[in-house]
């Protein structure tokens, strides 16, 4: 008689093995379908020019590298000589202006081709079937082109490039306010100073533009072009693909177009950089204008987070669409992808226009933008659900039920964002301290701590009263816990309150065992937390709760709570509509229409031969 435990173990091992093999096959299929420059669409390219965008990108890339190598012979990457060396190339070197123009406009053409190709892949569903990785490849080619252009932009060392780079230089530093990795969480988590270290690695002088900055940008500018080219060439060599499958006529036309633009619109030189005079508005090169405008509308740390979320969303979209619509390629039956594509294009165009004409209103525009952004996505979701409602075939309806749940999750995620934004707008607090305040209230209650939490709250309220500047800047609360900091409510009272608070932090609670396991990453007086209250006070969770409670209580801390614009309330309620519509579609799709449709599921599939 077989051993039951061995049978169970064998079944589990078999299940794990099948799952691993399935995942491996899934990955290998998509790796085999990788298409870097539309090399598998040569037939389509003969009748549809949009399928020639990959070879066009590759051709222009070679032009940019060739002209760049020529420019290096005269360019001097120093603060003192960079601007003058560009002038020399432009005015004194034979065909120097033409070479520089082809380099500049070739880089612009790369970005245009990569962007159009990415949109083509979404609209034509070129990521189906099993080609989702191609979206990531297309996105990487676009990002490398943009950041290569960004690093090359500074090399001109003119006024516009200098100040645009100075603004860009501050972006990485906001990563120090991100959850977990940020300095805001000290001493709960030992900060990696990722934002400042990134800025230091890129710029060499923190957020300052120095000689080290131009040296590093010059090196990165070369690396972003030459290193990827090596890997691409190895890819073509290994697979024996034809490089740039364009006729000589098409190649000549592309090259002549760059020559014509370079002659008619010579690359701008601008004015020599002046660190003492700030131009208004500060404008980057054209492809980053929309991003700069977004940074005017949002808290810098939030805008930085969104900047990192956008590429991740682009990579996930083809997988979501494949789960929802299966092998369907008709864009009229994929409204979610269509509306997201429209939203992305319009946001960039409108933002770029607003920053150029400098008429944007940072107080009135953001509510319109947020409603527009979420509204278009919600229209795409509801449109997709309507198509599911119209489906009559039971097998497809059952597939639609799973897809409807995915779309309901989109509404749920939007709802979570809406709830978080609602309280952020009401209190002008970041999500991190709001969340910490909520967790404090969850852990500290009558059951877990009795009256100990209330006592600690009273002491913190006295130590950091509502009208104290530190209370308004709630993230600086940790300075009050420093015994040497006695500027709160008078030296004797401050020291006495600190002693009472230290005693209160030692009060026993039912959850002390859990918080004692967390390291403090701090030196004396103790290497681990003495309990839950010690953790909550030291890491500002208690203070965050008090700040949130005070600002949400009408009349306690004027002008809080603030009013949320009606347009923002509209997209918040839309999330609930999408969630309910998704759940309703799931329910309807699972419910058979008639007895006949139930039989369709069990009916064997016959082959017409």
Give the integer Cα–Cα distance in Å for 304 and 289.
15
| Averaged pLDDT for residues 186-209 | 64
Same domain? For 104 and 244 the reply is yes
Instruction: Please report whether residue 84 resides in a domain.
Output: yes
Confidence label for 297 from pLDDT (cuts 50, 70 and 90) = confident
How many C-alpha atoms does 608 have within 13 Å on its Cβ side?
0
Write the Ramachandran bin of 247: left for phi over 0, alpha for psi from -120 to 50, otherwise beta: beta
Same domain? For 354 and 436 the reply is no
Domain end call among 318, 345, 360:
360
Instruction: Please report whether residue 569 resides in a domain.
Output: no
Domain that holds residue 232: 21-265+280-360
List, in sequence order, every residue forming a beta bridge with 158; answer none if it has no partner: 272
pLDDT of 206 > 70? The answer is no
Same domain? For 456 and 547 the reply is yes
Domain end call among 526, 552, 578:
552
Same domain? For 25 and 140 the reply is yes
pLDDT tens-digit map of 559-570 = 999 999 999 999
134 and 126 Cβ atoms separated by less than 8 Å = yes
Same domain? For 319 and 444 the reply is no
How many C-alpha atoms does 44 have within 13 Å on its Cβ side?
13
Residues 6+ away with beta carbon under 8 Å from 572:
415, 418, 419, 421, 422
Instruction: Please report whether residue 486 resides in a domain.
Output: yes
196 and 176 Cβ atoms separated by less than 8 Å = yes
Percent of the chain with pLDDT over 70: 87
Phi, psi dihedrals of residue 528, rounded to the nearest 5°: -145, 160
Torsion of CA 327, 329, 332, 333, to 10 degrees: 0
Instruction: Please report whether residue 512 resides in a domain.
Output: yes
Confidence label for 112 from pLDDT (cuts 50, 70 and 90) = very high
Q: How confident is the model at residue 187, as a pLDDT?
A: 46
Shortest CA distance to 90 belongs to which of 79, 104, 80, 77?
104
306 and 175 Cβ atoms separated by less than 8 Å = no
Same domain? For 60 and 151 the reply is yes
List, in sequence order, every residue forming a beta bridge with 519; answer none if it has no partner: 528
Same domain? For 234 and 102 the reply is yes
Give the Cα-Cα-Cα angle 432, 435, 436 (nearest 5 degrees). Answer: 85
pLDDT of 592 > 80? The answer is no
Confidence label for 573 from pLDDT (cuts 50, 70 and 90) = very high
Number of domains, the chain: 2
Q: How far is CA 77 from CA 71, 81, 218, in A?
A: 11, 7, 7
Same domain? For 460 and 313 the reply is no
Instruction: Please report whether residue 270 resides in a domain.
Output: no
Give buried/exposed letters for 88-127 (b at 16+ CB in 10 A, else e): ebbeebeebbbbbbbbbbbbbbbbbbbbebbbbbbebbbb
Domain end call among 552, 577, 594:
552
DSSP state string for 151-185: HHHHTT-BHHHHHHHHHHHHTGGGGGGSTTTSGGG
Phi, psi dihedrals of residue 364, rounded to the nearest 5°: -105, -30
Same domain? For 474 and 332 the reply is no
Give the integer Cα–Cα distance in Å for 482 and 470.
13
161 and 79 Cβ atoms separated by less than 8 Å = no
Burial environment of residue 131 by CB neighbours within 10 A (0 to 12, 13 to 18, 19 or more): buried
Percent of the chain with pLDDT over 90: 44
Task: Check residues 248 and 609 and name the one with the higher pLDDT.
Answer: 248
pLDDT tens-digit map of 472-492 = 777 677 677 766 665 544 444
| Averaged pLDDT for residues 316-333 | 93
Give the integer Cα–Cα distance in Å for 325 and 388.
10
Instruction: Please report whether residue 508 resides in a domain.
Output: yes
Shortest CA distance to 475 belongs to which of 521, 434, 535?
434
Task: Check residues 548 and 607 and name the one with the higher pLDDT.
Answer: 548
Same domain? For 253 and 164 the reply is yes
Same domain? For 331 and 459 the reply is no
Give the integer Cα–Cα distance in Å for 219 and 217.
5
41 and 35 Cβ atoms separated by less than 8 Å = yes
Among 193-197, 245-249, 254-258, where is mean pLDDT lowest?
Answer: 193-197
pLDDT tens-digit map of 421-449 = 999 999 988 888 898 899 999 999 888 98
Same domain? For 445 and 353 the reply is no
- The average confidence (pLDDT) of the chain is 85
Instruction: Please report whether residue 90 resides in a domain.
Output: yes
Three-class SS state of 354: helix
Confidence label for 537 from pLDDT (cuts 50, 70 and 90) = confident
- CATH number, residue 126: 1.20.810.10
Give the Cα-Cα-Cα angle 130, 134, 138 (nearest 5 degrees). Answer: 165
Instruction: Please report whether residue 366 resides in a domain.
Output: no
């Amino acid at each position: 008689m077989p051993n039951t435990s061995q049978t169970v173990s064998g079944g589990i091992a078999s299940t794990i093995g099948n799952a691993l093999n399935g995942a491996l096959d899934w990955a290998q299929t998509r790796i085999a379908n990788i298409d870097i420059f539309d090399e598998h669409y040569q037939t389509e390219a003969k009748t549809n020019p949009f399928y020639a965008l990959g070879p066009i990108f590759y051709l222009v890339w070679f032009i940019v590298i060739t002209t760049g190598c020529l420019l290096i012979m005269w360019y001097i990457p120093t603060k003192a000589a960079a601007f003058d060396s560009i002038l020399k190339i432009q005015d004194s070197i034979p065909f120097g202006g033409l070479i520089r123009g082809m380099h500049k406009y070739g880089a612009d053409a790369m970005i245009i081709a990569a962007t159009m190709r990415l949109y083509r892949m979404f609209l034509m569903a070129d990521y189906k079937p099993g080609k989702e990785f191609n979206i990531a490849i297309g996105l990487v080619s676009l990002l490398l082109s943009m950041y290569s252009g960004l690093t090359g932009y500074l090399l001109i060392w003119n006024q516009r490039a200098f100040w645009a780079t100075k603004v860009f230089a501050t972006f990485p530093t906001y990563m120090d306010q991100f959850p977990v990795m940020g300095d805001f969480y000290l001493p709960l988590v030992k900060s990696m100073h990722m934002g400042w270290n990134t800025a230091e690695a890129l710029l060499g002088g923190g957020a300052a533009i120095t000689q080290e900055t131009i040296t590093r940008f010059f090196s990165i500018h070369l690396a972003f072009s030459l290193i990827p080219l090596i890997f691409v060439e190895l890819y073509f060599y290994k697979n024996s693909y034809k490089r740039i499958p364009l006729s000589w006529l098409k190649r000549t036309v592309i090259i002549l177009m760059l020559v014509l633009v370079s002659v008619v619109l010579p690359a701008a030189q601008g004015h020599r950089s002046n660190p003492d005079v700030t131009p208004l508005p500060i404008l980057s090169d054209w492809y980053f204008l929309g991003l700069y405008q977004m940074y005017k509308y949002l808290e810098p740390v939030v805008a930085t987070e969104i900047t990192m979320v956008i590429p991740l969303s682009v990579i996930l979209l083809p997988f979501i669409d494949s789960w929802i619509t299966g092998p369907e390629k008709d864009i009229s039956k994929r409204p979610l992808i269509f509306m997201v594509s429209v939203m992305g294009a319009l946001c960039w165009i409108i933002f770029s226009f607003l920053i150029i004409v400098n008429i944007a209103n940072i107080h009135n525009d953001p509510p319109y933008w947020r409603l527009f952004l979420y509204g278009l996505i919600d229209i795409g979701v509801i449109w997709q659900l309507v198509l599911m409602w119209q489906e009559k075939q039971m097998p497809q309806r059952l597939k639609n039920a799973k897809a409807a749940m995915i779309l309901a999750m989109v509404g749920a995620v939007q709802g979570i964002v809406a709830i978080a934004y609602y309280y952020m707008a009401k209190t002008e607090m970041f999500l991190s301290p709001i969340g910490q305040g909520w967790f404090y209230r969850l852990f500290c209650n009558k059951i877990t701590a009795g009256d100990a939490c209330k006592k600690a709250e009273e002491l913190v309220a006295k130590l950091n009263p509502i009208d104290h500047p530190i209370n308004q800047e709630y993230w600086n609360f940790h300075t009050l816990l420093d015994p040497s900091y006695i500027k709160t409510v008078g030296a004797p009272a401050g020291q006495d309150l600190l002693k009472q608070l230290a005693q209160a932090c030692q009060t026993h609670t039912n959850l002390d065992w859990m918080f004692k396991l967390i390291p403090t990453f701090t030196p004396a007086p103790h290497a681990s937390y003495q309990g839950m209250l010690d953790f909550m006070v030291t890491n500002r969770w208690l203070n965050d709760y008090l700040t949130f409670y005070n600002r949400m209580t009408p009349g306690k801390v004027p002008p809080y709570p603030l009013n949320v614009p009606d347009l923002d309330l509209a997209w918040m309620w839309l999330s609930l509509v999408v969630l309910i519509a998704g759940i309703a579609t799931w329910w309807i799709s699972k419910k058979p229409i008639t007895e006949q449709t139930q039989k369709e599921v069990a009916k064997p599939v016959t082959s017409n031969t």
